[in-house]
């Protein structure tokens, strides 16, 4: 007998009280049945890990709706499709979903299940584990990898991903899309005169101003250094130009804590042309920005 088994006083594979054992599992093991009419229930459900709070397990033995009704709206159709695929092709289900605990709280559940054809329909054998903590940690790490440290804006990587998505939408629906590139004027001078820390503060304050001035659906990011970008969905140039100019003016008039009028920005704008590659759009906005610098700064060029 190993040391471990010596502790339990049992030999390996000696009979255990299975009922007691399953109730102590840090998860739920189950059988899930769907009959030919589509009625679903859990003939077997045991374990303690996934609390299924507020869900009566007895009731699940009669009708799985008691749990399915608590599924997050987005996850419900996804899980139903996974069940359908699994039943049709005999492939395992491997997915995760959110269960509503209250109007504002939910938990995440990972589900694995193996289907088997039964005389009455399809029977799955599976397990569910609460993965809420892992999902929260994952979301925290994702936020970190998407966010610019100094300003809290989307970083370059995230902004380019969002730009790709908006270009795809614009391409599909033929809707307008503007890209704005913004660069602080003579920022080196600000750093040299007031110090790098003050420079950092100007960048954070500028980010705050952009967030305040732009619309909820606009995506604002810091491309790096003193260069920022705003992706403006559903916005043609005729609309984005006055918006950009109002932003430019607000920045020029803002008190950044150093002499007002010291901080100005140059802005380059471009509107997406159907079928144009992303980098061509960026290059056109960049050329406009270069022209704004060249023409004397503190201006918008499209
Ligand atoms: N404080 C601070 N400065 C930064 C940061 N990133 C880049 N910079 C500074 O931004 C300055 C950019 O200088 P340049 O590229 O010469 O441009 P500029 O002085 O803004 O001149 P124009 O763009 O031509 O108007 C440099 O001094 C960089 O050190 C940052 O995170 N914090």
pLDDT digits (tens, 9 = 90+) for 28-87: 999 999 999 999 999 999 887 555 666 788 889 999 998 999 999 999 999 999 999 999
Residue 21 has what pLDDT? 83
3-136: CATH, from 3.30.450.20, 3.40.120.10, 3.40.462.10, 3.10.20.600 = 3.30.450.20
Residue 56 has what pLDDT? 80
Give the Å distance between the CA of 264 and the centre of ligand 1.
13
Residues 6+ apart with CB under 8 A from 118: 33
Residue 86 burial (CB < 10 Å; 0-12/13-18/19+)? buried
CA distance 203 to 224: 11
Give the Å distance between the CA of 187 and the centre of ligand 1.
5
Strand 28-35 vs strand 177-184: parallel, antiparallel, or unpaired? Answer: unpaired
Give a three-class secondary structure readout of the chain.
CCHHHHHHCCCCCCCCCHHHHHHHCCCEEEEEEEECCCCEEEEEEECCCCCCCCCCHHHHCCCCHHHHCCECCCHHHHHHHHHHHHHHHCCCEEEEEEEECCCCCEEEEEEEEEEEEECCEEEEEEEEEECHHHHHHHHHHHHHHHECCCCCCECHHHHHHHHHHHHHHHHHHCCCEEEEEEEECCHHHHHHHHCHHHHHHHHHHHHHHHHHHCCCCCEEEEEECCEEEEEEECCCHHHHHHHHHHHHHHHHHCCCCCCCCCCCEEEEEEECCCCCCHHHHHHHHHHHHHHHHHCCCCCEEC
Residues within a 6 A CB radius of ligand 1: 150, 183-189, 191, 196, 199-200, 203, 225-226, 293, 297
pLDDT digits (tens, 9 = 90+) for 209-268: 999 999 999 999 999 999 999 999 999 999 999 999 999 999 999 999 887 778 999 999
pLDDT digits (tens, 9 = 90+) for 5-23: 555 666 777 778 888 888 8
Q: Taking the mean position of all CA atoms in its chain, how far away is CA 119?
A: 42
CA distance 66 to 245: 55
ipTM over 0.90: yes
Residue 17 has what pLDDT? 85
Residue 8 has what pLDDT? 60
* Rg of the chain in Å (alpha carbons): 29
**What are the domain boundaries of the chain?**
3-136, 147-301
Residue 22 has what pLDDT? 83
Lookup: tokens for 24? 């102590």
pLDDT digits (tens, 9 = 90+) for 101-144: 887 888 999 999 999 999 999 999 999 999 999 999 999 999 99
How confident is the prediction for the chain on average, in pLDDT? 92
Does the structure show a pLDDT above 50 at 1? no
Does the structure show a pLDDT above 60 at 197? yes
| Torsion region of 189: left, alpha or beta (phi above 0 gives left; psi -120 to 50 gives alpha) | alpha
Q: Which CATH architecture has domain 147-301?
A: 2-Layer Sandwich (3.30)
Residue bearing the CA closest to ligand 1, atom 8: 225
Residue bearing the CA closest to ligand 1, atom 30: 225
Give the Å distance between the CA of 140 and the centre of ligand 1.
30
Residue bearing the CA closest to ligand 1, atom 29: 188
Give the Å distance between the CA of 293 and the centre of ligand 1.
14
Q: Is the dihedral of CA 145, 139, 111, 70 positive or negative?
A: negative
């Amino acid at each position: 007998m190993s040391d471990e088994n010596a502790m339990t006083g049992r030999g390996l594979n000696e009979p255990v009280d299975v009922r007691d054992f399953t109730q102590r599992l840090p998860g739920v093991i189950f059988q899930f049945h769907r009959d030919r009419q589509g009625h679903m229930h859990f003939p077997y459900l045991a374990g303690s890990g996934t609390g299924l709070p507020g869900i009566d397990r007895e009731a699940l033995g009669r009708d799985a709706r008691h749990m399915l009704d608590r599924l997050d709206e987005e996850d419900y159709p996804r899980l139903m499709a996974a069940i359908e695929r699994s039943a049709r092709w005999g492939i395992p289900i491997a997915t995760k979903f959110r269960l509503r605990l209250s109007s504002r709280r939910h938990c995440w559940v990972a589900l694995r299940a193996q289907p088997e054809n039964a005389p009455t329909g399809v029977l799955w054998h599976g397990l569910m584990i609460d993965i809420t903590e892992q999902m929260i940690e994952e979301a925290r790490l994702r936020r970190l990898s998407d966010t610019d440290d100094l300003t809290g804006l989307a970083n370059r990587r995230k902004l380019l991903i969002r730009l790709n998505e908006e270009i795809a939408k614009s391409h599909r629906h033929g809707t307008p899309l503007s890209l704005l590139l913004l660069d602080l004027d003579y920022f080196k001078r600000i750093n040299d005169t007031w110090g790098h820390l003050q420079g950092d503060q100007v960048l954070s304050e500028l980010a705050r101003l952009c967030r305040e001035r732009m619309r909820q659906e606009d995506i604002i990011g810091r491309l790096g250094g003193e260069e920022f970008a705003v992706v403006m969905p559903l916005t043609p140039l005729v609309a984005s130009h006055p918006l950009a100019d109002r932003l430019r003016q607000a920045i020029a008039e803002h008190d950044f804590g150093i002499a007002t009028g010291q901080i100005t920005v140059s802005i380059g704008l471009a509107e997406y042309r159907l079928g144009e590659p992303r980098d061509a759009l960026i290059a056109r906005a960049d050329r406009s920005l270069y022209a704004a610098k060249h023409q004397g700064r503190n201006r918008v060029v499209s």
